[in-house]
Each structure stands twice: as structure tokens, then as C-alpha cells.
Amino acid sequence: MAPQISPSILSADFARLADEVARVADSADWVHVDVMDNHFVPNLTLGLPVVQALLDHSALPLDCHLMIEDPDRWAPQYAEAGAKSVTIHAEAAKAPIRTLRAIRAAGARAGLGINPATPVDGFEDILGEIDMLLLMTVEPGFGGQRFLDVVLPKIRRARELIKGRDLPVWLQVDGGVSAETIERCAEAGADVFVAGSAVYGADDPAEAVRRLRALAEEATAKADW
Ligand code: DX5
Ligand code: ZN
């Protein structure tokens, strides 16, 4: 699959979310929405009512990243509301397979996210239950953190596992993804790139998305996976 770019509105102006999404509508593939509950992560952002409001104003599909406790209870509602991709965290889900199936049944792509210190190997057998594997490349909770190079071997291993199973699972990276780091991620096997501060911290967010895409495409063309 060609690389996809999913700008995170965590670094956008929260008082003008619809306008901020519109700035990348022609250049991005998705809008990444970080839902944080101040329990799973030490930060509080937004929830279902804001996502519902945004759905009415976004020309791009929403990629909802739930950094919350009890995703089993909440995740299906994001899919039912109309989010096209809903990602839950493996560290928080008590019944991940049931919840991933409920997300799919509601018509969305089902994502499973893992934190930097969570090994990917234990998830090999459930790859068939997911549409996207999200590898956090920072500890979740805040934008603008430094990319953790230590996750690169895990990106490689995840790509090998997906290839080995011959499944159409997308591999997303989130955290510290920028013009400086995106090529390393693509080379290692990622194909969906979340970027918050690298897009919304730029003077021209659309141009930043195009630049990231070009770098990812070039690195993917040279990659051996
Ligand atoms: C962090 C969030 C990210 C965040 C990334 O926990 O999941 O989506 O917005 O921000 P940057 O790209 O600035 O690291
Ligand atoms: Zn995120």
C-alpha cells in the first residue's frame, strides 16, 4: 500500500478544529483524533461529543486513537458515530478480540495500539482480527515528544509478522514522526504515519503533509520489505 499520512489534531487549535482539519483536507488521507481520558495517559483531550461534531465538518475520514481505560465500553460507539478507523490500546482492553470485532461490525477499521515497551510478538495470532497495528514511537499522552529510535526494530518485526501471515494489516507509527524520522519508519516497514507537531507546527500544514508523503514514498521505494 502507498504510504498514508494522518495529521494529528492534538497539535491543532482546539478552538477551531473544523478549520484546522480543512487546512489538510486536500493533502492528507486521514485526520488522527487523540482521545485521552487522564487515566490511561496523564492528559485529557476530547471525547465522543467532539468527535461527533467533527464528523459533520470533516471532509477526511477520522482515525480515532483511544488512549483511554475501558475501551471495550467506548470504542464501538466511535465506530457507530461514523469514525472510519478506531484504535484501542492492548494495554487497556480487557476483551480486545470482542471489541475489535464490535468495531468492525459497526463498519470501521479496527486498530490495535501498543506502547513502546509492549512487545509485538504476542499479537501475531490475532493479526487477522485487526486492520491496523499502531506502534507508539513515544510514550502516549503528549504531542511534540522526541521519537524513540528503540522502537525501530519492533517496526521491522511487526512488518515481518504481517508479511508472514500475508494479511492486509496497515502498520501505523505515532509519535515524533517528522521530516527527520519518517524515512526511518518507512524503511523499517510502517505505511501509515501520524504527525502532529510536524504538521500543525508548520507554517503551511498542507505543504508539511506533502513533504512527509514524498519522504515516505521515497524511503518505501528503497525499502526491502
Ligand atoms: C501522542 C499522540 C500522538 C500525538 C503525536 O500520545 O498519540 O498522536 O499527537 O504528536 P507528535 O507528532 O507531535 O509527536
Ligand atoms: Zn495518536
Q: Residues 178-207: pLDDT tens digits? A: 999 999 999 999 999 999 999 999 999 999
- Asked if 202 contacts 208 with a C-beta cutoff of 8 angstroms, the reply is yes
In the block, residue with C-alpha cell 485487526: 130
CA separation, residue 126 to residues 21, 84, 96, 150 (Å): 33, 21, 10, 24
Using one digit for the tens of pLDDT, what is the confidence trace for 10-22?
999 999 999 999 9
In the predicted model, what is the mean pLDDT of residues 122-126? 96
Helices vs. strands in the chain: H and E counts, helices first: 8, 8
N-term to C-term CA, the chain: 12
At residue 76, the pLDDT reads: 98
Determine the atom of ligand 1 nearest the C-alpha atom of 65: 7
Helices of type H across the chain: 17-22, 48-55, 71-81, 96-105, 152-165, 182-188, 197-200, 205-222
Ligand 1 touching residue 140 (CB < 6 A): yes
CB atoms under 10 Å from CB of 184, counted, come to 17
Cα(113) to ligand 1 centroid in Å equals 13
Of all protein residues, the one whose alpha carbon is nearest to atom 6 of ligand 1 is 140
d(C-alpha 210, C-alpha 221), whole Å:
16
d(C-alpha 170, C-alpha 91), whole Å:
20
Query: C-alpha angle with apex 27: 153 to 59, nearest 5 degrees?
Result: 110
Phi-psi region of 68 (alpha: psi -120 to 50; beta: other; left: phi over 0): beta
In the predicted model, what is the mean pLDDT of residues 68-74? 98
Of all protein residues, the one whose alpha carbon is nearest to atom 7 of ligand 1 is 140
d(C-alpha 219, C-alpha 211), whole Å:
12
Mean pLDDT of the chain: 98
pLDDT band at 163 (very low <50, low <70, confident <90, very high): very high
Cα(62) to ligand 1 centroid in Å equals 15
Please identify which of the residues 37, 63, 174, 191 carries the catalytic annotation: 174
d(C-alpha 37, C-alpha 29), whole Å:
26
In the chain, % of residues over pLDDT 70: 100
